[in-house]
Amino acid sequence: MQDEPKVGAGPDVQPDDEVSAPLDSASAEADQVADAEVTHAVGEAIPLAVLPSVDDDRDPAQEEDADEVEAVERVLVLEKKHPLAIRWMHWVNFPVLFTMIWSGILIYWNDSDNAYKHPHEVYRIGLGPLTIFRFFPVGFYKFIDAPYHVTKALGYHFFFMWIFGINGFVYVTYLLWSREWKFMVPSRESIREAIQVTLVDLHIRKGLPPQTKYNGAQRIAYTSVIVMGLGSLVTGLAIYKPTELHWITTLLGGYEMARWLHFWLTIGFCGFFLVHVGQVILAGWNNFRAMVSGYELRRQDEPSIEAERRKI
């Protein structure tokens, strides 16, 4: 009888339950490289889902506080901004001041027409006989049909002068009586706030400074307009009655100086009007509506005008 082969007798004989011999280091390294290539190929074929990052250090209480702050910022309240008296005098002053400027330009034509060689041509920028710039060239006067309307212009100017003066006097009196002047008179921070507001308007800086009724720039501008109105009234009276009110004319430096001051105050009003209308347009409908209805929408987290009004 032929002997049965023994286990392990030859290299080609391996039973089914025998464990294969371990691979050497070179074979193991080759298998790792192959596995890596397969894994990379699968990763390229199947896109991975991007999961949101989770911050383990975030406090749930802070999340609730942030949500509450955001909810408060979204809440709008309706608050009274301008009293009825201020709104009435504001809108009355608008057509009155416009008529005063229009009639004044018609009067200025009588003294700025070069054909008559008037010696006091104050409506220019120049040095001695040299004129660099004239405010009212001939074409401008022709456009508004100014020539030879001096008598009519004087009638309009002197009539609306009284409305302008009375309205201004009542306005200032009301500001003092109601203590609304505290919202308007510049404070220590007004200059700094005015610079910040200007930088925001020029898109150099972001974020307006906190304010109640008016910011620093508005305080300076609105107070300046009141002073300019008083100056226009005083210089106008010095021009209107240089003999009866000669003491005012003398204090202003004479008739010609009074005319010069009156003219530049008028130019200042024109500049304020252009800037004011531009700022109203930039501020939006909410700001304009406040001067019509007296009420303005504001965020609940913003400073309250009524609360500030109760303090004064």
pLDDT tens for 225-235 read 999 999 999 99
CB 165 within 8 A of CB 233: yes
Distance CA 203, CA 205 (A): 6
Write the DSSP assignment of 95-122 as a string of letters: HHHHHHHHHHHHHHHHHH-GGGT-S---
Task: Give the per-residue pLDDT at 215.
Answer: 87
Q: Side chain identity at 310, as an amino acid letter?
A: R
* Three-state DSSP class for residue 77: strand
Average pLDDT for 282-310 = 84
Task: Give the per-residue pLDDT at 37.
Answer: 61
Task: Give the per-residue pLDDT at 6.
Answer: 47
- Tell which wins on pLDDT, 177 or 32: 177
Distance CA 199, CA 188 (A): 19
**Contact residues for 78 (Cβ-Cβ < 8 A; gap 6+):** 295, 296, 297
- Per the prediction, the chain carries an average pLDDT of 79
Average pLDDT for 249-271 = 92
Average pLDDT for 60-64 = 58
Task: Give the per-residue pLDDT at 210.
Answer: 74
Q: Which of 132, 141, 139 is nearest to 111 (CA)?
A: 141
CB 269 within 8 A of CB 164: no
Task: Give the per-residue pLDDT at 158.
Answer: 93
Average pLDDT for 246-269 = 92
Torsions phi, psi for 256 (to 5 deg): -65, -40
Residue 80's H or E segment, with its range, is: strand 76-80
Task: Give the per-residue pLDDT at 11.
Answer: 47
Residue 68's H or E segment, with its range, is: helix 60-74
Distance CA 300, CA 79 (A): 10
pLDDT tens for 199-209 read 888 888 887 77
Residue 124's H or E segment, with its range, is: strand 124-127
Residue length of the chain: 312
pTM greater than the 0.85 cutoff = no
Task: Give the per-residue pLDDT at 276.
Answer: 92
* pLDDT higher than 60, residue 41: no
